Structures are given as C-alpha cells and as structure tokens.
Amino acid sequence: IVLMDLLFFFIVGRLYNTSTRGIDILFPWGIFGTLGAIYPSIANDFAFLRHSISMYDIMCSWPIILFVYSLMLLALGIGFGVAIVRSHHRRHVLRSRIIEAMTLLCLFVLPYLKSDSFHLHHWFGMWFLGMQSNAPEWWSRTFQAFALGSYVNGIAVYGRDPILGCQLAFYRSTNLDCEFMQCYMEDL
C-alpha cells in the first residue's frame, strides 16, 4: 500500500518531470524532506500544540500562542494556495490541475468524510497536499519535500493507520471470525 501511495505521489506530484531538478539533491529535497520527517515528532514537545481542533478545546483551553501559531499557518497556507493557483494559471494548466485535485478528492476523501470513524491522519493529509504541490517553482518543491517527509514520519512512527480506524477494525474483527467477537455476533 505504501508503494501505491508513493507511486501516486510520484505521478500526481509530477516528480518525473525533467524540467525540474531531480529529488536526489540536498535542496530542497534533502533538507526539507528531513525537516518534514522530524517536525511532527518534535511538535509533541511543545505544550501549546497539545490541543485538539474541537469547538470546546478552542473556546476553553487554547492558549493565545496557539491562536497566533494557527493564524500564521492559515496565512501561510492561503498564501501558498494563491501562489499555486497563480503558477498553474501562468502556465495554462490551472483547469487540468483543478480537475485532477477534484478527482483525487472524490476518490480519496469524500467517500469517507461522512463516517463517524473518519480521522485525518497527518500522513494522509500531507500525502494528499504534497501531491497537489506540483508546480515547478522552488517553493512548491520545498513544500512537496516537507510533505513527503511528514508522510514518511506518519507511516514510520504510527504505521499507515486507516482513515476509518474504528470501522475498519470492527469490520476485520467481525468478518475474519475473531474468537473474541463471538459474544457480539451471538447477540445479533
């Protein structure tokens, strides 16, 4: 499954494109790929980042510094999104990239979004966003390297957990005749 993820990342992320420098170079791939692999683990060391994105947590326990951090990330994300759109528009590929992004969204996100078990793991989010960061400019490739590093961190540290964790575990335990589920199956 990881190989399929990387194949999608390679194709959709346009890593095969010879007009950009390869991925075997120190900048941006070596440096930002490493930062992407390290940052998610280091982020756990910052106490102000140990909060969830829920209405209760935001209203009641988010410290001011987390609001500042979130606003900076939001501004950076919006700026990056505008820059990607401008780059695609300038190269006359915006329409195809929008169709591609919507297709991938319909295939990989929308079918699962309504489920109560849906959990957007950081490996999945960075894999998805990294594929969309496929402009030839250095800043786009830098984010792509960071996203690939974060993907590697997610699957290396936590495993490639499914985005429908509870539902998949329940499905596997009930359909593979696990003995500990016999009491549940008997009550049906």
- Read off the tokens for 174: 């009930």
Task: Dump pLDDT digits (tens) for 94-111.
Answer: 999 999 999 999 998 998
What is the rounded CA–CA span in Å between residue 113 and residue 116?
A: 8
| Beta strand spans in the chain (E) | none
Task: Note whether 84 and 131 are within 8 A (CB).
Answer: no
Q: Confidence band (pLDDT; 50, 70, 90) for 121?
A: confident
- Record the pTM: 0.82
Q: 1: burial class by Cβ within 10 Å (0-12, 13-18, 19+)?
A: exposed
Helix (H, G, I), strand (E, B) or coil at 118: strand
Mean pLDDT of the residues in the chain = 86
